[in-house]
Chains A and B, each alone.
Chain A
């Protein structure tokens, strides 16, 4: 079975994000970019399923600027077999991304799509579910565990208050949560090998999808400042203060 793994290039999670002075967005100049951490978990899961013999081919796909090639090389170094870069420089809304991925699916015909539950830049948590709807496929979101069987897949999902295990008909979509796995570091030989793996280049126009945003971002601002509090010198003093205020 072929697995498609969509990945996104985002600001590295360690970078302190700064809002631009003109309030048009966040400052992306000279900022370290990385693969979205949840997508990295998705790549890792696809590779583990291939190692178990459940998957035959892993295709990574990203939609982004030319520099998003690095993100694909990262996925290839972890174990993806080949990659597709759909070039697009502007920001895309999740629905447009889902439509493009649907078009990629029409070409690639994967039996399973694994992707991150949310990108840590826009925090939308939408693409997997939207793609599932557009394809008419079932979805196993926020996956903590998955087991591929012939014609179906069992996904254990992180839900509020516990875990829910669902069985989905294949083809299906899985979105990854934190506990699904711990991604490997790509080894140097695999990084070298990844340079020779093929990346197919496409553009948004190739798929005939309108990339224009439908929501209008009026401004992007920094959050309100935090409080500056009282320092206490001991745990006993802390308990006293909290008791004074009737908090405990």
Chain B
């Protein structure tokens, strides 16, 4: 039986998390169908149909899905569930919000945040902020899975799936969106950036983050932060890289004034090249770094900026 992937999008653009989830789904159960649930989102379905390995795109285009609320979207997924062996979503805020509702009503367990599909029944997922990895067998029931997108490659383009319109499911009418306040930054999005520069507690204040931001703007990088920096109020929560924040895997990750708590490492250790700048030479961040600079960041960052100007 086929597997169903819940597409991640913003009603205009398909997020690359979808293609990565398709990669995972293809290893679980084929063919793969993609569900695009949203409002005025036909264009997103057009983008999804070109993902290689997708046989069919199901389009549920209805105002009730505009804000991707868990109650109506879970009801929609449940209306389609009988035809599928496996239902997968990326482990994004939406996927994490919606899928456990589906699992509970189907009376099956959910596998959260898988990082590998060893066989159609065997999966790996991190626990304890990545301090340990579970190998789990799920057999004899429908598989409900969220996928860590940094752990899977995007499925290539070149597909030619059919688009099929599906009827909206009954809206339980329990919730509605009042407002949305999306951060509009000139800088690239954390999970999509080629370079990420993150600051930690070592920055000492909100004002000092300007040192990070200036280098970010020079490099065209996204700005990230450790939980300590977020907790201290230096930067907003959506900058947090780590166990309970964003999981990133850019070409270049620069960690400044971040000691490297396991919770933070869990969010960035799969980056291609890692740079650490920290004054404590025993900081655990150096254990995962390709290039380490033991220095006071208040000296090192202005020097770094100057060197970039040359």
Contact = CB atoms under 8 A, between A and B. Distances in A.
B244 A218 contact: no
Interface residues of A, number: 84
A190 to B, nearest CB: 24
A138 B67 CA distance: 14
Interface string B102-113: 111101111111
Given A218-B122, A241-B291, A124 B110 contact: yes
B69 interface: yes
B290 interface: yes
Contacts of B294: 231
Nearest to A237: B293
A90 interface: no
Contact of A123 (B127, B238, B287): B127
A169 B294 CA distance: 54
A53 interface: no
Interface residues of B, number: 92
B74 A94 contact: no
A126 B100 contact: yes
A165 B303 contact: no
Interface string B33-48: 0000000000000000
Nearest to A164: B180
Given A17-B131, A133-B74, A215-B111, A167 B303 contact: no
Contacts of B103: 95, 126, 130
B112 A214 contact: no
Contact of B176 (A118, A166, A234, A240): A166
Given A121-B128, A220-B127, A136 B172 contact: yes
Interface stretch (A62-70, A71-79, A105-113, A139-147): A139-147
Contacts, number: 258
Interface in A154-184: 154, 157-169, 172, 177-179
A239 interface: yes
B286 interface: yes
B180 A132 contact: no
A123 B243 contact: yes
B142 to A, nearest CB: 11
B237 interface: yes
Contact of B101 (A123, A133, A214): A133
Given A142-B97, A162-B181, A169-B175, A123 B128 contact: yes
A248 B133 CA distance: 33
A178 B230 contact: yes
Contact of B177 (A129, A136, A165, A172): A165
A227 interface: yes
A229 B289 contact: yes
Given A125-B112, A214-B109, A16 B131 contact: yes
Contact of B251 (A166, A179, A247): A247
Most buried by A among B92, B134, B183, B262: B134
Interface string B184-198: 000001010001000
A179 B237 contact: yes
Contact of B178 (A93, A124, A128, A166): A166
A206 to B, nearest CB: 21
Contacts of A151: none
Contacts of B251: 247
Contact of A221 (B96, B133, B300): B133
Given A26-B131, A95-B109, 7 more contacts: A17-B128, A118-B244, A123-B129, A126-B100, A138-B175, A161-B189, A164-B180
19 contacts: A93-B109, A94-B110, A123-B112, A124-B110, A125-B100, A129-B99, A133-B74, A137-B174, A139-B97, A160-B92, A164-B180, A165-B180, A215-B137, A226-B288, A227-B290, A229-B286, A239-B307, A247-B195, A248-B195
List the 4 closest pairs (A to B, CB-CB), nearest first: A162-B182, A138-B174, A129-B100, A235-B303
